[in-house]
Chains A and B, each alone.
Chain A
């Protein structure tokens, strides 16, 4: 596997594109079909492709498994912390427009108040969950 030139070259070019596309889906979640869950899955699948082509040792050199598992906790924490913003402003948990947050220009990239912020957390959570599930289950070669 390690000396398969075509596979290595194709994956070297495709994996970054998959990740950029996943980030695009997450960031445009409130404007176009997609969002945190879909974009996070795309990024996670990009990580899975990386592991399949370059091997699990290369992936562990890049990010140790423990770091990945620890980072997975950041997604739900980010989401819950976003909810606390509404409470800090004196409204319900996860309040958005009710708490007086700026909604921006509908259709602009930075619009929708807390929606893009929440979507980022969900995307990171889903991507890392897919990667952790794969990395933990996959066998050493």
Chain B
């Protein structure tokens, strides 16, 4: 099988599989979709009572999952610290 035929076969196979899967997904916002479980209900119904925040996305990110967000902030800080330590102009001038 030539390379082009292999590429076309793979693309058709993968996109066909994705099409079938997308067709099998529940309708957007369907009341009986599997993502409407107890987690969904807990966050939607109890956010204001639990956290006092009106924005439930912020309530999840900064209250329910606050420890996870601390990790994200640390990742950002690590990126800045690594970039600054490697690429700082001052260091380059001193080394030259």
Contact = CB atoms under 8 A, between A and B. Distances in A.
Contacts of A94: 66-67, 70
Interface of B: 48, 50-55, 57-59, 61-63, 66-67, 69-70, 73-74, 76-77, 79-81, 83-84, 87-90
Contact of B77 (A32, A75, A113): A75
B77 A29 contact: no
A129 B51 contact: no
A74 to B, nearest CB: 10
27 contacts: A29-B62, A30-B54, A35-B58, A65-B89, A65-B90, A72-B80, A75-B77, A83-B66, A96-B51, A96-B63, A97-B52, A103-B51, A103-B52, A111-B52, A113-B51, A113-B63, A115-B52, A115-B53, A115-B62, A118-B69, A122-B69, A129-B79, A132-B80, A136-B83, A136-B87, A137-B83, A140-B89
Contacts of A122: 62, 69, 73
Interface in A32-88: 32-33, 35-36, 65-66, 69, 72-73, 75-76, 79-80, 83
Contact of A118 (B50, B66, B77, B83): B66
A125 B77 contact: yes
Interface residues of A, number: 43
A126 B76 CA distance: 7
A64 B89 CA distance: 12
